[in-house]
Structure 1
Amino acid sequence: MAVSKKVNTIIFWILQFVGWGFLTFANVWSKAFVVPEEKSKASYFIVEGLVFIILGIGLTTLLRNYLKRIKFIEHQTKSNYLKTIIAFFVTSFLFSFLLIVISSNAFTYINEKPSDFSMLVFISTTVNITIFIFFWIVIYVAVKSVARNQRNKIDRLKLEASLKESQLNTLKGQLNPHFMFNSLNNIRGLMLEDVNKARDMLTRLSEMLRYSLNMNKVDAIQIAQELEIVDNYIELSKIQLEDRLHYEQEVDASLLQIKIPPMVLQMLIENAIKHGISTQKDGGKIKLIITDNTQEIILQVNNTGYLKTNTDSTRIGLDNIKKRLELLYGNEADFILKEVNNEVQAIIKIPVK
């Protein structure tokens, strides 16, 4: 990604210098050699050419940065179109005004006589500059749009090409074999104490296994269905942890039908239990919070304990989550892991589709 951005930046600057350099050469050539009445010293045309190319490259680079800041390519809304039109006219007027003012003063200084720049010259210059800036915007947006479409196609191809490998990795990350082994041993011990509860736990374990296998075929699942698996996981974990594990959830009911990547919540809960609650003598509390804002679904799992990311198993679990989010959402999703007041917070922000 970093290499691609560097290449794109280099290409942008090459095109900037080539494009504005050509226009500068054409402008200077037409005035110095083609139009005979343009009587002036050669040094003036050099100065005017330098001013023209500096303003052209400088102002359009600022315009490009502004288009990137408002994310015009990604979000071509009415609001962004209006902002772009305003920026277009401001850039064109500023370009023309600075060019006329600087060139006029340079002409007077170099030729030692007053310039004859009139309102007609200003208007014609403004019209020409406006046309140049317009075509610059059209070409820039077209190139960026094509590049973005190509990038999206490549990302989709990468996602499809890595599907089989991703399915295997997802299986490993979704339902930990050690968890299954421990659960079966715990259920076997539970049979001696409570047969009905042991039967219920076996049902929960089989539902988790079936869910894990089926979810390899889809990229998204409703939050309501995901919460059922989380409940199963919590109940199975309580067989071993008993009163050491306290679980709460705070879920906005209006979000239950929203779709998220399968097993992501379960993986967050598993990480909180494995590296948080189970390592503490007195156990602790896990709280699942699901909310939203105008643009994102926020999945948050808090657990009492301290942040420890130096173990291989922790990194594997976190890398699994990050990789899946990147494949599905690119740079639009965020995964944050932090420690706040002796509590570890794992937060995933997913864009609303």
Structure 2
Amino acid sequence: MLNRITTAGLYWRCQLAGWTLAALFWSYQAYFQGRFHVGIAALHLLLDVAIGIGLTHGYRAWVKRQPPSALLVRSSAFRALGAVLLLSGAYLLAVVSKNYGMQVLFNPSYATRFAYYYEQHALTLFVTGIRLLTIWVLLYHVFQYAQREIRLTQENARLQVLAGEAQLANLRAQLNPHFLFNALHTIKALVLDDPRVARRSIDLLADLLRKSLTNSTDELITVQAELELVRDYLELETLRFEERLRCHYHLDPATHEALVPPLSIQGLVENAIKHGIGRRKQGGTLAVTVSYDQEMLIVTISNCGRLVDAAPGAGLGLLNLRERLAAHYHGQARFELVQSAAEVVTATLAMPLISRPCAS
């Protein structure tokens, strides 16, 4: 609504300014031709502006009633050409009638017949009308096409945002069942071996689900909130692996308020446990490193294992993460999973460094 009001205001300002400048130019010509009277010139100016605006506004109203198919470039060009000729004819009749009427009104001795006056001035006024109205129609259609392209661009951008939001919502909806399945699988392994530890695992799972469900409704959460989930998850896994799982953290305090997609670091940790350490009888070490380099947040997860056994890039977790990174950062984030040493797999996640503003 506001955009329509602004466009309408611009249209009327341009109409008044354009036709007033044209009328002032004609008054300027009349002044140097020695046929100038201030009162008559002012009346001529008002009538010239009224004729110009009346004709062009009528054309605008006609264009707005046309179906969209009639406004294609090829068809509208022919319509505009025909409209310019008709408008020029109407302009000729209106200006000839106005000028002749002014002569009769303000010069009682004027005895020239209208037909003769029309023959004297018709060609000049018709050419003037074609020149003026061609410029007006061309500018009007260029402006309309520009406005239409802007509207289409804005609409396409809005649709892309909605599609991106829908994609992210769908991806987030996939995470919780996937996460829950893996956690329940861990508890299942503990129920028969150690019921006491299994009960503790269920408490941890309840806390994990509460945090994950809360965080997954946000598009981005702080590194600190994500790491709280990671620590709870690793505590749950430590109950199962016991001394077979050793965890190390290397965290830059300056990154605590940086924003990341929810369950992104946790998903990498989960992948490292499931496909790396979980497949080794002797277990292994998992290291979580969070730092920054210039304008990028760098998250590195290193774990004992081999990519040959891990089927790199497979599985819902990593596929989900790649798609969420593409949706959030539009190609500005990157993810790598490599065999960094003989028995060490390293996952590296690099994202634009975005921090949550501090509350004032």
Q: TM-score range by the shorter chain?
A: 0.5 to 0.7
Counterpart of 2:207 in structure 1 is 207
The share of aligned pairs that are identical, in percent, is 26
Matched, 1:169 2:174: yes
Counterpart of 1:273 in structure 2 is 273
Counterpart of 2:162 in structure 1 is 157
Alpha-carbon distance, 1:167 to partner: 3.3
Counterpart of 1:344 in structure 2 is 345
Deviations 1:173-202 (A, max 9, x none): 4x141422432552674344xxxx665433
In structure 1, distance between residues paired with 2:205 and 2:349: 26
Counterpart of 1:140 in structure 2 is none
Q: Would the aligned equivalents of 1:187 and 1:202 in 2 still touch at CA under 8 Å?
A: no
Counterpart of 1:76 in structure 2 is none
Matched, 1:260 2:248: no
Total equivalences in the alignment: 207
Alpha-carbon distance, 1:294 to partner: 1.4
Q: How does 1:1-353 map to 2 (within 5 A)?
A: 152-173=157-178, 175-183=179-187, 186=190, 189-192=193-196, 200-308=200-308, 311=311, 314-342=314-342, 343-353=344-354
Larger Rg: 2
Specify the code of the residue in structure 1 equivalent to 2:346.
Answer: Q
Deviations 1:199-258 (A, max 9, x none): 543332111111222223111111111111111111111122111111101000111111
The 3-state SS of whatever aligns with 1:217 is coil
In structure 2, distance between residues paired with 1:213 and 1:165: 14
The 3-state SS of whatever aligns with 2:227 is helix
The 3-state SS of whatever aligns with 2:163 is helix
Specify the code of the residue in structure 1 equivalent to 2:233.
Answer: Y
Q: Would the aligned equivalents of 1:220 and 1:260 in 2 still touch at CA under 8 Å?
A: yes
The 3-state SS of whatever aligns with 1:331 is coil
In structure 1, distance between residues paired with 2:182 and 2:310: 20
TM-aligned CA distance change 1:236 to 1:188, over 3 Å: farther
Alpha-carbon distance, 1:327 to partner: 1.0
In structure 2, distance between residues paired with 1:156 and 1:281: 47
Q: Would the aligned equivalents of 2:220 and 2:261 in 1 still touch at CA under 8 Å?
A: yes
Q: Would the aligned equivalents of 1:275 and 1:314 in 2 still touch at CA under 8 Å?
A: no
Counterpart of 2:52 in structure 1 is none
In structure 2, distance between residues paired with 1:284 and 1:310: 15
In structure 1, distance between residues paired with 2:336 and 2:200: 35
Q: Would the aligned equivalents of 1:224 and 1:256 in 2 still touch at CA under 8 Å?
A: yes
Specify the code of the residue in structure 2 equivalent to 1:341.
Answer: A
Counterpart of 1:38 in structure 2 is none
Q: Would the aligned equivalents of 1:187 and 1:201 in 2 still touch at CA under 8 Å?
A: no
Alpha-carbon distance, 1:162 to partner: 3.1
TM-aligned CA distance change 1:160 to 1:203, over 3 Å: same
The 3-state SS of whatever aligns with 1:278 is helix
Q: Would the aligned equivalents of 2:168 and 2:327 in 1 still touch at CA under 8 Å?
A: no
The RMSD of aligned alpha carbons is 3.1
Structure 1: runs of 5+ lacking an equivalent: 1-144
- State the TM-score, normalized to the length of structure 2: 0.51
Structure 2: runs of 5+ lacking an equivalent: 1-149, 355-360
TM-aligned CA distance change 1:283 to 1:309, over 3 Å: closer
Deviations 1:55-106 (A, max 9, x none): xxxxxxxxxxxxxxxxxxxxxxxxxxxxxxxxxxxxxxxxxxxxxxxxxxxx
Alpha-carbon distance, 1:154 to partner: 4.0
Alpha-carbon distance, 1:153 to partner: 3.5
**Structure 1 stretches of at least 4 aligned residues deviating more than 4 Å after TM superposition:** 145-152, 197-200, 309-313
Counterpart of 2:56 in structure 1 is none
Q: Would the aligned equivalents of 1:299 and 1:349 in 2 still touch at CA under 8 Å?
A: yes
In structure 1, distance between residues paired with 2:320 and 2:333: 14
Q: Would the aligned equivalents of 1:250 and 1:290 in 2 still touch at CA under 8 Å?
A: yes
- State the TM-score, normalized to the length of structure 1: 0.52
